[in-house]
């Protein structure tokens, strides 16, 4: 049996943007659309063109700019909506018009105030009208999961006969369960005689927390397109989460036999962070796949298991979704194994006796703090094990910066009673300083992390800078503090350079 592709239809820019407070401007929509293309989604529903001139222009811009995915515009079963959708997506090499009309009794009675025959006539007319403009037509019987089964079958057959190439079955209000939704899809496959002429799609909302489960149940029963959003964004409780759908299919290939997606999963984390940043909708820490804790372990038993064999407590590799590595969170539940591994990562080498002393101090501190940071570990190591000798120390620095000049820095470092000076330009004053330091020390590395925090309050607050540097496969951290944040940044980088120098001297 030949493997079948599951079409990933991303509606972050349409349904996702309908989340309260998640409004996007044209440039932000375009930035997300570019990343969705890199991610490898098959369809981008770029908006609802008739809803506003801004939305029309955004869909049009996406259609003109983005190559690869199908670009889709949403429309009610009204000619002016269909015209707006077509006029915005026609610039794409792969345009699609997505038409919808409610079919459940509650919607027909209270929202549309129309009978079944009239609804059927309007739907067929809309598909035929859209088909004259665009070959690729998707139709959604809104609130399909609460639509009477016989009418839903009749409706789907009619819109396929009229020219729909995809029929989407929405669980519009997130009401159904996986068992019911599976039967709905089965019923369509069995009772709609022309169903093989179109793709069955599903669009599930998360009001009962079942959107992903319902979507996957549909895939197991013949659906071949899933409509979803990055981070599960959407109206009310949101939509099915793209990252969860894709990784479920990939991770449980034993269950989802014979189906696959073309999504580049290594771009998932990056895409999630971009959407979170631009919409202002934070991702909860315990969110599956992309949450900050998705690959984090604090329990000593879990940490020990993961360090011995990752698959003991991880069913996916973090790098498969774009994470750099598993995160072992050090806290009061952590054990010696994880503690020792973290010290190694920080470049702190200890013998068994030193490890025990440091671990005892760590446990005392862990009872007082919820999470232990690398800086805390370095302090413990410095005080309990050994002081890191200062190979380099700051003698003097001078920077020139502004919005109309290229930032430059002159750095003077003291080493073995001699002053060494270098200057450099950079993207900003901190970057210029770091490049000048690299010239003097000769121990350049890749800056992996840079963080600033205020140690105290007030305008004269002491600022603390923490950096992480990757050099020759090892990561070292540095820390510096000053009321001048540039000076704190320099001190942090020099602190890391001293650790790198220490490692190099040990090899000699």
Is residue 405 pLDDT above 60, yes or no?
yes
For a pLDDT cut of 70, what percent of the chain falls above it? 83
Question: What local confidence, expressed as pLDDT, does residue 503 receive?
Answer: 64
CB distance 272 to 290 below 8 Å: yes
Sequence spans of domains, the chain: 4-279, 296-384, 394-507
Give one word for 135, left, alpha or beta, with left for phi > 0 and alpha for psi -120 to 50: alpha
Which parts of 146-236 fold into alpha helices (H)?
Answer: 149-162, 178-191, 211-220
Q: Which residues does residue 10 pair with via DSSP β-bridges, in sequence order?
A: 44, 228
Sign of CA dihedral 470, 471, 473, 477: negative
Q: How far apart are CA 228 and CA 251, in angstroms?
A: 18
Average pLDDT of the chain?
85
Say which residue, 453 or 370, is predicted with more confidence: 453
pTM above 0.85, yes or no: no
CA atoms within 13 A on the CB side of 131: 15
Question: What local confidence, expressed as pLDDT, does residue 484 receive?
Answer: 84
Question: What local confidence, expressed as pLDDT, does residue 508 receive?
Answer: 37
Provide the 10 A C-beta neighbour count for residue 3: 8
Structure-token pair, residue 271: 């895409």
Q: Who contacts 381 (Cβ-Cβ below 8 Å, separation ≥6)?
A: 343, 346, 348, 350, 358
SS3 45: strand
Query: For strand 418-425 and strand 405-415, is the pairing parallel, antiparallel, or unpaired?
Result: antiparallel
Nearest to 298 by CA among 207, 388, 369, 216: 369
Structure-token pair, residue 172: 């519009």
CB distance 7 to 226 below 8 Å: yes
Q: Who contacts 487 (Cβ-Cβ below 8 Å, separation ≥6)?
A: 394, 397, 480
DSSP state of 94: S
Q: Who contacts 54 (Cβ-Cβ below 8 Å, separation ≥6)?
A: 25, 26
Give the tens place of pLDDT for each residue, 207-263.
999 999 999 999 999 999 999 999 999 989 999 999 999 999 999 999 999 999 999
Nearest to 100 by CA among 80, 66, 75, 82: 75
User: Which of these CATH numbers, 3.30.9.100, 3.20.20.70, 1.20.120.1760, 3.40.50.1820, describes 4-279?
Assistant: 3.20.20.70
CATH code given to domain 394-507:
3.30.160.270
Structure-token pair, residue 222: 């013949």
């Amino acid at each position: 049996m030949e493997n079948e592709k599951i079409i990933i239809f991303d509606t972050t820019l349409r349904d996702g943007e309908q989340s309260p407070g998640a409004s996007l401007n044209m440039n932000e929509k375009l930035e997300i659309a570019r990343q969705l293309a890199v991610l490898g989604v098959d369809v981008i529903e770029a908006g609802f063109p008739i809803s506003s001139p801004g939305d029309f222009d955004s869909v049009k811009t996406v259609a003109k700019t983005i190559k690869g995915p199908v670009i889709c515009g949403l429309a009610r079963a009204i000619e002016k909506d269909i015209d707006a959708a077509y006029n915005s997506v026609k610039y794409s090499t792969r345009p699609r018009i997505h038409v919808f009309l409610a079919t459940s009794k509650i919607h027909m009675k209270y929202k549309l105030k129309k009978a079944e025959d009239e609804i059927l006539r309007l739907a067929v007319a809309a598909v035929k009208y859209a088909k004259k403009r665009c070959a690729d037509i998707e139709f959604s019987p809104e609130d399909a999961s609460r639509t009477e089964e016989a009418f839903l079958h009749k409706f789907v057959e009619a819109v396929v006969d009229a020219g729909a190439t995809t029929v989407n079955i929405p669980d519009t209000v997130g009401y159904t369960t996986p068992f019911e939704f599976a039967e709905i899809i089965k019923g369509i496959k069995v009772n709609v005689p022309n169903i093989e002429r179109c793709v069955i799609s599903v669009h599930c909302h998360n009001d009962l927390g079942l959107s992903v489960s319902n979507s996957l149940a549909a895939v197991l029963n013949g659906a071949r397109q899933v409509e979803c959003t990055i981070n599960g964004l959407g109206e009310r409780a949101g939509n099915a989460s793209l990252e969860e759908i894709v990784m479920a299919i990939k991770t449980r290939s034993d269950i989802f036999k014979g189906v696959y997606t073309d999504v580049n999963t290594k771009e998932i984390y990056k895409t999630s962070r971009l959407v979170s940043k631009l919409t202002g909708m934070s991702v909860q820490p315990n969110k599956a796949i992309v949450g900050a804790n998705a690959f984090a372990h604090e329990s000593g038993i879990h940490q020990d298991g993961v360090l011995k064999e990752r698959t003991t407590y991880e069913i996916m590799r973090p790098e498969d979704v774009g994470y750099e590595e598993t995160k072992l969170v050090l806290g009061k539940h952590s054990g010696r194994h994880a503690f020792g591994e973290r010290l190694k990562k920080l470049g702190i080498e200890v013998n068994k006796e030193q490890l025990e002393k440091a671990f005892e101090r760590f446990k005392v501190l862990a009872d007082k703090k919820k999470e232990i940071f690398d800086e805390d570990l370095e302090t413990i190591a410095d005080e309990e094990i050994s002081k890191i000798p200062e190979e380099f120390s700051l003698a003097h620095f001078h920077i020139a910066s502004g919005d109309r000049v290229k930032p430059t820095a002159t750095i003077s470092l003291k080493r073995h009673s001699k002053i060494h000076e270098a200057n450099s330009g950079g993207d900003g004053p901190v970057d210029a300083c770091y490049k000048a330091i690299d010239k003097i020390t000769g121990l350049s590395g890749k800056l992996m992390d840079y963080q600033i925090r205020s140690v105290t309050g007030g305008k004269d607050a002491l600022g603390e800078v923490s950096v992480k540097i990757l050099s020759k496969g090892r990561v070292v951290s540095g820390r510096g503090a000053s009321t001048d944040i540039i000076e704190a940044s320099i001190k942090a980088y020099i602190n890391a350079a001293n650790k790198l120098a220490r490692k190099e001297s040990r090899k000699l």
